Structures are given as C-alpha cells and as structure tokens.
Amino acid sequence: MNLALLEAELRRDEGVRYVPYLDTSDPPRRTVGVGHNLDVSPLLAGWTFPLTDAQVNQVLDRDVSTTLAKLDKALPWWRQMDEVRQRVIANMCFNLGIGGLLTFKNTLAAMQRRSYQVAAAGMKASKWYGQVGQRAVRLCKAMETGVMPG
C-alpha cells in the first residue's frame, strides 16, 4: 500500500493541528496532530506545544502503523482487497478505531466477499456517514468504484 497516499488522505480528512483541541466525539477527546487521541496515547515525555512538523509526522507514522497492525490482527483478509479499498478500510479504522470499525459487521462481510456496492451501501446507512461528511462521501465512492475521488 502507498503509505504516503494514505497519510495525505488522512491529513485532508483529519486536518493537522499543532496544539491540542477537543474533537467532536461524545465525549470529546483531546486530539493533536493528525487525529491523534491524546487520552488514549499521550505524547513522548518532554514534547511541548506547538508540535513541530517532524513531531506531527512521527506521531502520524506511528498511528498509521498501529492502525494497520490492528487491521492485520482483526481482519487478516483486508490486505487481499485492491489498494484503494485497503486505504478506505484503513482510513475508517484510523477514524473509528478498530472497535468502532468492527461494529460494521455486515459492511465488513460484504467487503470480504468483494461485494463492494453492498459495502458502500452499508457505509452510507451508518451513523458514521452522517457524522463525517465529505470524508464518508469520498470513502463510499472509493469503496464502490475502486477509485479514490480527488
């Protein structure tokens, strides 16, 4: 998978913040960098705000690696999808966490059997779809077509 492309998509979808903020989840979480949850994973000791670009990149690289490892463990079949659809599921996992992603049981089953239109319909029918706006529209289109919209 093209990790640089996934990271660019996550930067677009999550935004980049150099100082902590409260995200829109319920309850709100302290977040920094590219969607990094400080409540789950504090930064390294001695880091101060604002973060540098290098620090944001380091945290993002670690978060992406962690996300991919969780997908490998929970859904070993996901790497057999084409690259665009792999980036869709990785993006969703990054956003929702593995626990949140695994609640998409029918959608994941459709992905596994390569029923991508059914999977996209399941994504569209979810609460998540209404919460994340254009990100969800892009990811659904990419799941359905195998092409990531610009």
CA distance 16 to 4: 15
Q: What is the pLDDT of residue 61?
A: 97
Q: How many structural domains are present in the chain? A: 1
pLDDT value at residue 119: 98
Q: What does pLDDT average to over the chain? A: 96
The rounded percent of the chain whose pLDDT value lies above 70 is 100
In 3D space, the residue among 21, 4, 14 whose CA is nearest the CA of residue 94 turns out to be 14
Q: How far apart are the first and last CA of the chain?
A: 18
Looking up residue 138, the CATH number of its domain turns out to be: 1.10.530.40
**pLDDT tens for each residue of 118-131:** 999 999 999 999 99
Q: Model confidence over 47-93: pLDDT tens digits?
A: 999 999 999 999 999 999 999 999 999 999 999 999 999 999 999 99
Residue 77 lies in a domain: yes
Residue 150 lies in a domain: no
Is residue 56 in a domain? yes
The residues facing 22 across adjacent strands are: 30
The answer to whether residue 35 scores a pLDDT higher than 80 is yes
The residue segments making up the domain with residue 137 are 3-145
Tokens of 98: 């593995």
96, 128 Cβ separation under 8 angstroms: yes
Q: Give the pLDDT of residue 112.
A: 98
